[in-house]
Amino acid sequence: MSRPANKLPVFSSSGPDIVLELSEEQFDHLTAKLGVSIFSEGAKADLLKACRAYLTHRAAELSAAPQSDALDSWFGKPKRDGGRDSNGVRETLVRMIALGEGAFPVQASSSVSERDVWSVVDDALFDGLMQAGEISLTKADIEPSSLDPMHSAGHQTNSGLHLKLSRDFMLRFSGLLRRAVECADAEMNGMGSGFRLGGAFDDWCRDMRAWAKGNGFPYGYSAHPGDDGASKFSQFLHALYAKLPPDLRDGDIKSAGAMAARLRRIPPTGEQIPRADAK
């Protein structure tokens, strides 16, 4: 089952850490499903670690914002005519670049007066910048970009230096902004794959298969080669899945046979899960 990766690759949560614990009775139930006598303490710890990783990943893929939100914020929201509106961050920066380069638009009643209108507006802008005062530079502002942040003097405003927002400075600053916009365009357009709905479940199944194989337990998903029935591993995984919080499960898998069917649909990455009850 393939679902598009159309979410952001980052996720922030202010909620509590996800906690999962299993009782000895629950572990006994799982060992019986897998057809083994006991799980070592290390195997139990690794099982819980894999399940907690799944729950964290699942919470992220459910809550991560769609990539379109970031694209709309940067480029502006799409319009019906195929373009984008002018409310994006990119367009705001483009306007700032135009100000610094003196390429901002003017509203003149005739082409003859455009230069005069531009001159008045430009003078008003830079007169305002001069009257607003200078910016006190901190020690961190004048440190080389190659300096390790751990060795920074910090933003102490006692450097004795001030920044004047002159026309020359604004022109150079606009060039820097222009390069920044070009870099950001490339990053936004090449965002790549983010969280994919269903990805957490696929990764969890692979992790649990590696867990079972590493501990010498059955790890195939069919009872016998060519048989579509549920293996011991599928029965075990179905029982374990039922012990996870319902709101973080990836669909309702009603039986071990349904779990085996889900396993068969997982996109392969390297070594595939064997069909037989391999050990």
Instruction: Decide: 222 and 229 in contact? Cβ < 8 Å.
Output: yes
Give the span between the Cα atoms of 130 and 206, in whole angstroms.
63
3-state secondary structure (DSSP) of residue 273: coil
pLDDT confidence of residue 269 = 66
Does residue 249 surpass a pLDDT of 50?
yes
- Give pLDDT tens digits for 187-220: 998 887 788 888 899 999 999 999 999 999 999 8
What domain range includes position 47?
24-64+195-264
Give the span between the Cα atoms of 242 and 52, in whole angstroms.
14
Does residue 11 surpass a pLDDT of 80?
no
Does 98 share its domain with 171?
yes
Give the span between the Cα atoms of 61 and 70, in whole angstroms.
16
DSSP letter assigned to residue 150: G
pLDDT confidence of residue 15 = 67
**211 against 262, higher pLDDT:** 211
Crossing angle of helices 167-189 and 67-75, rounded to 10° = 150
Give the span between the Cα atoms of 194 and 5, in whole angstroms.
6
> Where in the chain does DSSP place strands (E)?
135-136, 162-163
Give the span between the Cα atoms of 191 and 46, in whole angstroms.
33
Q: What is the mean pLDDT of residues 54-72?
A: 90
pLDDT confidence of residue 63 = 87
Alpha helices (H) along 10-137: 24-34, 41-63, 67-75, 89-101, 114-131
The residue from 147, 168, 189 where one domain ends is: 189
pLDDT confidence of residue 107 = 82
Domain assignment present for residue 14? The answer is no
pLDDT above 90 covers a percentage of the chain that reads: 39
- Give pLDDT tens digits for 113-143: 888 888 898 888 888 888 887 888 888 888 8
Does residue 274 surpass a pLDDT of 60?
no
Domain assignment present for residue 8? The answer is no
Does 38 share its domain with 142?
no
Confidence of residue 228 (pLDDT cuts 50, 70, 90): low
The residue from 149, 166, 189 where one domain ends is: 189
Domain assignment present for residue 19? The answer is no
Q: What is the mean pLDDT of residues 83-106?
A: 88
Does residue 36 surpass a pLDDT of 50?
yes
- Give pLDDT tens digits for 148-193: 888 787 877 766 788 888 889 999 999 999 999 999 999 998 887 7
Give the span between the Cα atoms of 91 and 81, in whole angstroms.
18
pLDDT confidence of residue 148 = 85
Confidence of residue 35 (pLDDT cuts 50, 70, 90): very high
Does 108 share its domain with 170?
yes
The residue from 138, 170, 189 where one domain ends is: 189
Question: Worst-scoring range by mean pLDDT, 4-8, 25-29, 95-99, 275-279?
Answer: 275-279
- What is the end-to-end Cα distance of the chain in Å, rounded? 27
Does 73 share its domain with 185?
yes
Confidence of residue 5 (pLDDT cuts 50, 70, 90): low
Instruction: Decide: 37 and 31 in contact? Cβ < 8 Å.
Output: yes
pLDDT confidence of residue 145 = 82
Number of domains in the chain: 2
> Where in 122-217 does DSSP place strands (E)?
135-136, 162-163
